[in-house]
A and B are shown apart, each in its own frame.
Chain A
Amino acid sequence: MEPLSSFFAVSVILLGIGIYGLMTKRNAIRILFSVELIYNAANLNIIAFARLRNPPIATGQVLVLFTIALAAMEAAVGLSIIILVSRLNAEIDLSKLSKLKG
């Protein structure tokens, strides 16, 4: 088995777990976790492509460093929104949060 395929397999598994979580879970925090998983599936792909390229380049790793930082920020923002929402509604079930729907 090629090294690239093993990376892809892990990545696909991560993506599948993420999508599964997004589809089945209604808790906002769980959904946030799932999003993080999808993120990391993509990050893994980028690093794998960059590292296993011939010749390998560092651009992928640098890019992913930025993505991780962005993901952290996104998680922070997402969490703070969730906290606010829970304070306002005492509820973080997304299916019940339909105030903004026209």
Chain B
Amino acid sequence: MATSLLAWLIWVTPLVGALLTPLFAKIHSKVRDVAAVGFTLTAAVLATITALTVSAGDYTVAWIPSLNITAGVLVDPLSLFMANIVAWISLLIMIYSIGYMKGEFGLTRYWFFMNLFIGNMLLLVLADNLLMMFFGWEGVGLCSYALIGHFYRDEPQYWVGTPGDKALGVSEEYSPTKSGMKAFIMTRIGDIALLIAIFLIYAFARTFNYNQLVTQLGGSGSWAANLARLGLLLPTALLFFGGPIGKSAQFPLQEWLPDAMTGPASVSALIHAATMVKAGVFLTGRMGPVFFIALSQFNQVPQFFGVVAWIGALTALLAATQAAVAREIKKVLAYSTVSQIGYMMLALGLAGLSANFLAGYTAGLFHLLSHAVFKASLFLAAGWVLHVTESRFMDEMGGLAKAMRLTSASMLLAGLSLMGIPLFSGFWTKDAILSLSFLGGQYILYGLALATAFITGFYTIRMLGITLGGKPSKHLEELMESGKHPHEASLTMLIPYLLLAVGSLALGLSYPIYSGPLTRYVASNFSSTIYALPSATISPSGFTDLLLLSVSTAVAIVGGAIAYFLYFRKSYEFETAMNPIQRFFWKRWYLDAIYYKVFVSGLLAASRGLYVYVEQGIWNRLNNIVAKDIMDYSRASDQLDTQVVDRAANEVASYGSRLSNLFRRLQSGVTEQYVIAFAIGIILLLAYMLFVVGAT
């Protein structure tokens, strides 16, 4: 128990910290900030200690015994792998927040939701059952909503989108409150699918617990077999995947993430790049093997994992193309995040499609790790760039490399990792996915992934070129004239993103050393006999391997080179006139506008129609008719009341009064009369006795 307590505390600590934040805020704002970071630090240290000391296992306590629901934390390689990434990156971003959020309003709220988020994220990762996982899942969604809309006063500088920009007549500008709402509602679509799937699984398995779900897989009476008999197994798996699609911003629910950039840069880095959007990847990683075993009994593996892989590949390409034309630096990064998560989904899908499940599985998870590191670094650095230049548009930056050498170096390191340049962590993990798709025989997916790699190289260098290279823009020169020169961030901000950027390089350099042990560590999850995962070692010839490596690298470098010649050393002007392809990408493939037209405008039109035709046309008319009838009826019954009932009552009453007038004459009040009556009564009684009773 003592050791499992550590695992519990990992996710409880930040939640407690969140609840205590308002209290600390009462003491002093400094105490509040330091305490908030302290709780995250505690969680991070606990996560590492747990990984090192606590033996793997499912630490449960009773929760609702009658429904076979237990609460618990699952200590296993996957959960601790995720928990450590989440906790340590959270810590760096919390430290960054101290400097970055200085002087902003609503800081108590900010720290509260940040810690609440971290706690819920760790709960999501560490939960040993689907129900607790879902609590964390919704908790992070709530925090995401609250933090996207942190600047809820909707000042223009916190919006995203080019002012006046419209697609199909739908405004592509988003205020913090609007995009928060959008994110919340869009992810909810996936969550409903996920919830249905969870309850379907529970209805047949009678348990939410991951381990029990796995152990109950075998045999013809298992939950999977029962689901499959009704033809529900594949739909359940696909509905389950709906949750990850929403949370991880995959096609077709990817549209919320780019607009979620209205939140502070630290929030974008933590929630919308490094951790929360990875929850979908994590959950697919958690339940993917279970579904693999379940589906393989009924030969439905390719359908499910095909969907995962194709959605991943499509999203990767789609988002990359949008990043290539984006104007705002954070939006480039957001599209890039969507694109990179697409890679991870592709890897997880390939796991089921290829002959070696674990290769795809670990490729996805490793890319998650490397992406979390370099993307967090990029976002944090971008946050500082935004702050310095007082603009979110890249064309209002430019030439920052001279003034901010360390920030630029950090962005360059992380950017190279994103591109997949050799020796950086992104190189290894992305290449693993690419070569897996090629060796698995999925050549179309490989083509899509390769195209994405090309565009990734292009947009990364484009972003760096426009912001860091060239000459300062007009906007920046005006700023400098007014005495605001670009300068390096303070240490609390600089260290986190520099550390992450260097970490990305270090992870890349040491990849050959740690990849083997880490793969074995993650793979140890599947040591039990139930996991009959295919593990044919794909051993390509050295030549194929080298060829694949050089192709993917070359493609990224070519993409980068094109961008280099186009955007470096030139000042970039944003133009609204674009060629058709650019316009198509710029308008986000018109998906956002179409969604808006169909769902938002459609809903409004439908409710207006309901109002006019049903409410006014039918209900109101019906109501009027009913009311009129009721009025007529009550008038009639009023007549009945006064004419019949009242009169009858009056008549009865008047008879009563006449009768009593008659009788009151008898009440003379003269005693003698009463006595005479009494005497007559006696005499009559006597007579009766004598003549009637006595006679017989």
Binary interface profile of B, 648-690, with partner A (CB < 8 Å = 1, else 0)? Answer: 0000000000000000100101111001101100100000000
The answer to whether A95 and B670 have CB atoms under 8 Å apart is yes
CB distance from B2 to the nearest CB of A (A): 93
CB neighbours of A94 from chain B (8 A): 671
Q: Which of chain A's residues 6-43 have a Cβ closer than 8 Å to chain B?
A: 19, 22-24, 26, 31
The answer to whether B669 and A22 have CB atoms under 8 Å apart is no
CB distance from A17 to the nearest CB of B (A): 12
Closest chain A residue, CB of each to CB of B668: A101
CA distance A22 to B678 in the complex (A): 10
The answer to whether A22 and B664 have CB atoms under 8 Å apart is no
> Pick the contact of A31 from B671, B678, B679 — CB < 8 Å?
B671
The answer to whether A101 and B669 have CB atoms under 8 Å apart is yes
CB distance from A36 to the nearest CB of B (A): 15
> Pick the contact of B679 from A23, A100, A102 — CB < 8 Å?
A23
CB neighbours of B669 from chain A (8 A): 98, 100-101
Binary interface profile of A, 83-99, with partner B (CB < 8 Å = 1, else 0)? Answer: 00000000000110010
Closest chain A residue, CB of each to CB of B664: A102
The answer to whether B676 and A23 have CB atoms under 8 Å apart is yes
- The residue among B676, B678, B679, B682 with the most chain A CB atoms within 10 A of its own CB is B679
> Pick the contact of A23 from B664, B667, B675, B682 — CB < 8 Å?
B675
CB neighbours of A102 from chain B (8 A): 664, 667
Q: Which of chain A's residues 41-87 have a Cβ closer than 8 Å to chain B?
A: none
- The residue among A23, A26, A100, A101 with the most chain B CB atoms within 10 A of its own CB is A23
CB neighbours of B675 from chain A (8 A): 19, 22-23
Closest chain B residue, CB of each to CB of A12: B686
- The residue among B664, B667, B675, B682 with the most chain A CB atoms within 10 A of its own CB is B675
> Pick the contact of A19 from B670, B671, B679 — CB < 8 Å?
B679
CB distance from A63 to the nearest CB of B (A): 21
CA distance A31 to B671 in the complex (A): 10
Closest chain B residue, CB of each to CB of A99: B669
Closest chain A residue, CB of each to CB of B683: A19
CB neighbours of A100 from chain B (8 A): 669
CB distance from B695 to the nearest CB of A (A): 20
CA distance A95 to B678 in the complex (A): 18
CA distance A72 to B377 in the complex (A): 117
CB neighbours of A31 from chain B (8 A): 671
CA distance A59 to B682 in the complex (A): 26
CB neighbours of B671 from chain A (8 A): 22, 31, 94-95
CA distance A22 to B675 in the complex (A): 6
CB neighbours of B676 from chain A (8 A): 23
CB neighbours of A101 from chain B (8 A): 667, 669
CB distance from B457 to the nearest CB of A (A): 116
CB distance from A41 to the nearest CB of B (A): 11
CB neighbours of A26 from chain B (8 A): 672
The answer to whether A19 and B678 have CB atoms under 8 Å apart is yes
CB distance from B640 to the nearest CB of A (A): 38
CB distance from B672 to the nearest CB of A (A): 5
Q: Which of chain B's residues 565-608 have a Cβ closer than 8 Å to chain A?
A: none
CB neighbours of A98 from chain B (8 A): 669
Closest chain A residue, CB of each to CB of B670: A95
CA distance A43 to B670 in the complex (A): 27
Closest chain B residue, CB of each to CB of A15: B682
CB distance from A8 to the nearest CB of B (A): 12
CB distance from B670 to the nearest CB of A (A): 6
CA distance A101 to B670 in the complex (A): 10
CA distance A24 to B679 in the complex (A): 13
CB neighbours of B664 from chain A (8 A): 102
CB neighbours of B682 from chain A (8 A): 19
CB neighbours of A24 from chain B (8 A): 672
Closest chain A residue, CB of each to CB of B675: A22
CB distance from B689 to the nearest CB of A (A): 13
- The residue among B671, B678, B682 with the most chain A CB atoms within 10 A of its own CB is B671
CA distance A102 to B660 in the complex (A): 13
CB distance from A7 to the nearest CB of B (A): 17
CB neighbours of B679 from chain A (8 A): 19, 23
Closest chain B residue, CB of each to CB of A21: B675
Closest chain A residue, CB of each to CB of B672: A23
CB neighbours of A19 from chain B (8 A): 675, 678-679, 682
CB distance from A14 to the nearest CB of B (A): 13
CA distance A95 to B674 in the complex (A): 12
Closest chain B residue, CB of each to CB of A94: B671
CA distance A9 to B671 in the complex (A): 27
CB distance from B54 to the nearest CB of A (A): 99
CA distance A1 to B672 in the complex (A): 35
CA distance A98 to B667 in the complex (A): 12
CA distance A26 to B670 in the complex (A): 10
Closest chain B residue, CB of each to CB of A18: B675
CB distance from B595 to the nearest CB of A (A): 90
CB neighbours of B672 from chain A (8 A): 22-24, 26, 95
Closest chain A residue, CB of each to CB of B686: A12
CB distance from A33 to the nearest CB of B (A): 14
CB distance from B687 to the nearest CB of A (A): 14
CB distance from B678 to the nearest CB of A (A): 7
CA distance A95 to B671 in the complex (A): 7
CA distance A100 to B679 in the complex (A): 24
Closest chain B residue, CB of each to CB of A24: B672
CA distance A101 to B664 in the complex (A): 10
CB neighbours of A95 from chain B (8 A): 670-672
Binary interface profile of B, 125-168, with partner A (CB < 8 Å = 1, else 0)? Answer: 00000000000000000000000000000000000000000000
CB distance from B667 to the nearest CB of A (A): 8
CB neighbours of A23 from chain B (8 A): 672, 675-676, 679
CB distance from A100 to the nearest CB of B (A): 8
CA distance A63 to B166 in the complex (A): 114
CA distance A98 to B670 in the complex (A): 8
Closest chain B residue, CB of each to CB of A25: B672
CA distance A65 to B679 in the complex (A): 26
CB distance from A87 to the nearest CB of B (A): 21
CA distance A100 to B671 in the complex (A): 13
CB distance from A38 to the nearest CB of B (A): 10
Binary interface profile of B, 439-454, with partner A (CB < 8 Å = 1, else 0)? Answer: 0000000000000000
Q: A100-B669, A101-B667 are in contact. List 5 more A-B contacts (CB 8 A).
A: A19-B675, A19-B678, A22-B672, A95-B671, A102-B664
- Would you list 18 pairs from A and B whose C-beta atoms are within 8 A, ordered by A residue? A19-B675, A19-B678, A19-B682, A22-B671, A22-B678, A23-B676, A23-B679, A24-B672, A26-B672, A31-B671, A94-B671, A95-B670, A95-B671, A95-B672, A101-B667, A101-B669, A102-B664, A102-B667
* Top 3 closest pairs, chain A to chain B, by CB: A22-B675, A101-B669, A23-B675
